[in-house]
Amino acid sequence: MAESNSKEEDRISKLPDDVLNNILSCLPTKTAVATGRLSRHWRHLWKHLSVLNFCDNSYDFQGHSKRFRSFALLVNGVLGTFLHTPHTIQKFSLNCAHSFLNDKFRACSVDTWVRTAIGLHPEKLDLNLVSCCSDIQLFKLPLSLFTSTNLVSLSLRGTINLHMQSSTQVTLPSLRNLTIDVYYAEVASVNLLLFGCQNIEILYLKFTTQSLDKLCIPPSLKRLTISIKKLGRTSTKYKQWLLAEPHDLHFQEFRNLVRLELILPWFRFNYLLNLLQECPMLQVLMIQKNKKSSPISGWHPKQIVPDCLVSHLTVIEFKGFRGSPDEVSFVEHVLQKGLVLKTLIISDISLNQSKKYGVLKRLSNVPRASETCQLTFD
């Protein structure tokens, strides 16, 4: 038995170093570094990792300060090694609290790590930074991040400060994938960031804002997910801005967009048609709606037929269906006009059995433009 185990161990160790490094890059960096204790051959393999993944949840436990200092020793040691033996980093990921009470060591450490990571020129940068203070503090991003010419994917989550001056230079020509999921952001700053991302293809936006300036989204997009809320009590102006009724919001054309995901507090038929009209190549539409009733009366539905509905749109999924007149009208419209529609899924329905049956019966009797369209109502 011992001889068999020895052979298995030798077999793994004899794999090419490139293969071993790929395996180690799939592990948390703390685990990858720990493999250096296995044998002399493994001692320095982690120093050639292409992916660095640091995650610390010490702020959830007692003795968080001691735990964080142990985490800091790991991160400082690894980054120090990589600075002295530079090589290509594909991805850098950091998930931790950047502020905790008056812990200046923590704040300084996280700031240093982010700046060092940017200096390593990774292709993918994933920052999930949170504040554990009663008075939420936002992490300020280094300006050097916005001129990382080789950055392909950028993910910013948590309590990160996206405020930028109008004079801030943003040049991210290689960026294809951008995620902004932060506590607070100004639309003007988001627009400034997006203006410097002229080749972006996948965009995820989720943030709370105070001002309701027009959001300018690059036309190069192929996939868009968006959820924006107003800070504090929602005003009628916000409802109209978000829902575009009847004429106050004009979308630019998204000529490359093939997948669209919308997270909406309310549903408006005309708003959605206005948007679909500017997505001629759209193939998949995902709608997730808050279960609240629409707080304002609807406008008369338009009878326009977006180009994508008769040429490319094959899948529609509607979550949070409540059976409002606007929602029912929209479903009827896509059934009647969707020439290439194959799948229409309506789920997470907030109706009692009687009303649910009535709506289903009504939709089942709607003539369908596509003979292959399958309606799922559950």
Is 313 a member of any domain? yes
Max avg pLDDT among 95-109, 238-252, 302-316: 302-316
* Alpha-helical regions (H) of 15-120: 17-24, 29-34, 64-84, 104-119
Please give the order of strands across the beta sheet that includes 374-377.
Answer: 51-55, 91-99, 124-131, 153-158, 177-184, 202-209, 223-230, 259-264, 284-289, 315-319, 343-347, 374-377
Model pLDDT, residue 67: 86
Least confidently predicted of 74-88, 112-126, 156-170: 74-88
Least confidently predicted of 91-95, 96-100, 116-120: 96-100
Residue 113 in this model has a pLDDT that exceeds 60: yes
Model pLDDT, residue 240: 33
Model pLDDT for residues 159-190, shown as the tens digit of each residue: 999 988 888 999 999 999 999 999 888 888 99
Who wins on pLDDT, 135 or 327?
Answer: 327
Is 169 a member of any domain? no
Is 211 a member of any domain? no
Is 373 a member of any domain? yes
DSSP letter at 248 equals S
Mean pLDDT throughout 229-241? 45
Domain membership of residue 14 as a residue range: 1-49
- Which of 34, 49, 64 terminates a domain? The answer is 49
Is 214 a member of any domain? no
Model pLDDT, residue 127: 97
Mean pLDDT throughout 80-93? 86
Residue 15 in this model has a pLDDT that exceeds 70: no
Give me 64's structure tokens.
């968080």
Residue 144 in this model has a pLDDT that exceeds 90: yes
Residue 9 in this model has a pLDDT that exceeds 60: no
Mean pLDDT throughout 110-134? 92
Residue 243 in this model has a pLDDT that exceeds 60: no
Q: Which residue has the tokens 């991805």?
A: 91
Structure confidence at residue 220 as a pLDDT band (50, 70, 90) = confident
**pTM confidence score:** 0.77
Is 28 a member of any domain? yes
Residue 272 in this model has a pLDDT that exceeds 50: yes
| 315-350 residues labelled b (16+ CB within 10 A) or e (exposed) | ebbbebbbbbebbbebbbbbbebbebbeebbbeebe
Identity of the residue numbered 6 = S
Model pLDDT, residue 1: 42
Q: How far apart are CA 222 and CA 257, in angstroms?
A: 4
Give me 163's structure tokens.
């405020």
Is 162 a member of any domain? no
Who wins on pLDDT, 137 or 286?
Answer: 286
CA atoms within 13 A on the CB side of 98: 23
DSSP letter at 371 equals T
Report how far apart the first and last C-alpha atoms of the chain are (Å, whole number): 55
For all residues of the chain together, what is the average pLDDT?
Answer: 82
Is 368 a member of any domain? yes
Least confidently predicted of 77-86, 144-153, 246-255, 331-340: 246-255
Q: How many domains does the chain have?
A: 2
Q: How far apart are CA 227 and CA 265, in angstroms?
A: 9
- Residues pairing with 93 in the sheet: 53, 126
Q: How far apart are CA 141 and CA 20, in angstroms?
A: 34
Least confidently predicted of 71-80, 92-101, 187-196, 262-271: 262-271
Mean pLDDT throughout 281-298? 72
